[in-house]
């Protein structure tokens, strides 16, 4: 007996089955993916946000920052009150650097150029290497005055303060020498979209000599820039944006550090240096073609620098091992000619000084948004 088959009905049932199978797969993937995500996502519930992003490390960090801030406020309000509290010289350095950066730093913006100002400050310490709270606060005030002066005198129309780094030196005559580096930039703002792909950044007119302020390959004007500086400017201008924090949260950076590269550390699959680097016997001069980076080479080394900064350095250097979220802060590229008579070679190179920090998510209610240096009390 023939069977009447409703093709439309079968097709509908098949489509329903496939839909629910796909739906189940998508839902399962949604359940599994958060465990693999490196960056947090925004959530609606404040309780869920706390559970998702407010880690024990961040909780302790906020407590340490606010504890020092409260003690400093008390010292400011009662300058003649002696607390008797002491802290190690390393804790003192860390407290000053961290509170300053979370209060005044805007490292997540994009900048065309930056300048780095340096100074030395001295922290009194005892024979055990401990510093009195009163002296730590006094050094913070000195640092604030110095960096504010650097910032105000920086020759940028639209400026922003990126970060400050303090490095401990030797102790002499009961004082710890601390080297201060403060970075101010010409502000561009926040990029909405990160450039994707390998579109040309430099055009046919962007042909620059390797470095040393030698200008363009064909001298068009008296510009004393060079290939390294031009690549550096574009890297800052196209700084890869940070992930958007959940509502009522903000990113802060702690423990800035720098990585130095001479240019021959990383190569591509064709054995080409991603950073500009040419080495020759010292008795053989560099040619004009080697000294000049035409626009195609400028583009190649720009994207090479991008790969080095955002991919290869974090994968290679031990400083990143214990950091869950890192941030690229700044770069200083120097094109230079270096001769080594001991081994009989000389080099044209783009020396890299790259600045990074650990990035941590904290509630704005606990650590308010940063303020401009000129707005300080």
pLDDT confidence of residue 78: 85
- Counted residue by residue, the chain has a size of 377
User: pTM higher than 0.85 for the full model?
Assistant: no
Task: Please give the Cα distance from 45 to 276 (Å, whole number).
Answer: 49
Report residue 7's pLDDT band, with 50, 70 and 90 as the boundaries: very low
- Does 44 or 332 have the greater pLDDT score? 332
Task: Check residue 199 and give its pLDDT.
Answer: 64
Instruction: Say if CB 227 and CB 298 are below 8 A apart.
Output: yes
Return the residue matching tokens 């804790």. Answer: 91
| Higher pLDDT pick, 183 / 20 | 183
pLDDT at 80: 81
Pairing assessment for the beta strands 208-209 and 159-172 based on DSSP bridges:
unpaired
Give me the mean pLDDT over the 35-59 stretch.
Answer: 51
The pLDDT tens digits of the residues spanning 270-320 come to: 999 999 999 999 999 999 999 999 999 999 999 999 999 999 999 999 999
Q: Which range scores top for mean pLDDT: 47-61, 205-219, 286-300? A: 286-300
More confident residue, 130 or 8: 130
Confidence label for 326 from pLDDT (cuts 50, 70 and 90): very high
Angle, alpha carbons 146-100-312 (nearest 5°): 105
**Looking at residues 153-171, what average pLDDT do you find?**
94
The count of C-alpha atoms lying within 13 angstroms of the C-alpha of 243, restricted to the half-sphere facing its C-beta, is 17
Mean per-residue pLDDT of the chain: 85
pLDDT of 30 strictly over 80: no
Question: What pLDDT shows up at residue 40?
Answer: 35
Q: What is the mean pLDDT of residues 102-117?
A: 93
- Given a cut of 50, is residue 173 above it in pLDDT? yes
pLDDT of 188 reads 81
| For residues 54-75, average pLDDT | 93
Q: What is the DSSP code string of 228-251?
A: HHHHHHHHHHTPPPPPPPPTTEEE
Per the DSSP assignment, residues forming a β-bridge with 339 are 346
pLDDT category, 220, cuts 50, 70, 90? low
Residue 36 has pLDDT above 70, yes or no: no
**pLDDT at residue 22 tops 70:** no
CA distances from 8 to 3, 12, 21 (A): 15, 6, 20
- The domain segmentation of the chain, as residue ranges, is 208-363
Note the helical H segments in the chain: 7-32, 46-53, 56-77, 89-104, 133-153, 227-237, 288-291, 295-307, 313-316
Does pLDDT of 152 surpass 50?
yes
Tens digits of residue pLDDT in 223-249: 689 999 999 999 998 888 888 999 999
Q: 38 pLDDT exceeds 60?
A: no
Average pLDDT over residues 57-76: 94
Q: Assign 6 a pLDDT band (cuts: 50, 70, 90).
A: very low
User: 158-162, 185-189, 202-206, 329-333: which has the minimum mean pLDDT?
Assistant: 185-189
Q: Of 215, 261, 236, which Cα lies nearest the Cα of 109? A: 236
Q: Average the pLDDT over 257-276 and give the result.
A: 97
Over 90: is that where the pLDDT of 50 sits? no
Banded model confidence at residue 44, pLDDT cuts 50, 70, 90: very low
């Amino acid at each position: 007996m023939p069977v009447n088959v409703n093709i439309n009905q079968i097709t509908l049932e098949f489509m329903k089955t496939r839909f629910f199978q796909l739906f189940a797969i998508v839902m399962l993937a949604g359940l599994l993916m958060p465990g693999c995500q490196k960056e947090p996502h925004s959530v609606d519930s404040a309780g869920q946000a706390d559970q998702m992003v407010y880690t024990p490390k961040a909780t302790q960090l906020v407590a340490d920052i606010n504890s020092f801030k409260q003690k400093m406020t008390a010292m400011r309000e009662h300058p003649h009150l002696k607390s008797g509290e002491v802290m190690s010289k390393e804790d003192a350095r860390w407290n000053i650097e961290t509170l300053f950066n979370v209060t005044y730093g805007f490292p997540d913006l994009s900048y065309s150029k930056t300048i780095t100002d340096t100074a030395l400050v001295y922290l009194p310490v005892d024979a055990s290497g401990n510093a009195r709270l009163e002296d730590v606060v006094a050094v913070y005030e000195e640092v604030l005055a110095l960096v504010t002066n650097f910032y105000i005198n920086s020759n940028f129309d639209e400026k922003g303060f990126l970060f400050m780094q303090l490095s401990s030196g030797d102790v002499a005559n009961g004082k710890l020498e601390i080297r201060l580096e403060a970075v101010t930039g010409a502000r561009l703002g926040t990029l909405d979209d990160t450039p994707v792909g390998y579109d040309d950044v430099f055009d046919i007119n962007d042909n620059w000599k390797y470095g040393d302020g030698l200008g363009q390959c064909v001298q068009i004007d008296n510009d004393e820039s060079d290939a390294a500086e031009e690549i550096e400017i574009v890297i800052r201008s196209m700084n890869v944006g940070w992930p958007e924090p959940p509502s009522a949260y903000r990113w802060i950076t702690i423990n800035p550090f720098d990585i130095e590269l001479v240019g021959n550390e990383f190569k591509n699959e064709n054995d080409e240096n991603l950073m500009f680097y040419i080495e020759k016997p010292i008795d053989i001069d560099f040619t004009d073609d080697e000294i000049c980076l035409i626009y195609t080479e400028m583009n190649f080394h720009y994207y090479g620098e991008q790969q080095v900064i955002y991919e290869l350095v974090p994968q290679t250097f031990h400083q990143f091992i214990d950091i869950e979220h890192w941030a690229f802060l700044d770069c200083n590229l120097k094109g230079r000619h270096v001769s080594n008579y001991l081994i009989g070679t000389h080099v044209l190179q783009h020396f890299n000084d790259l600045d990074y920090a650990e990035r941590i998510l904290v509630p704005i209610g606990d650590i308010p948004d940063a303020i401009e240096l000129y707005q300080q009390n």
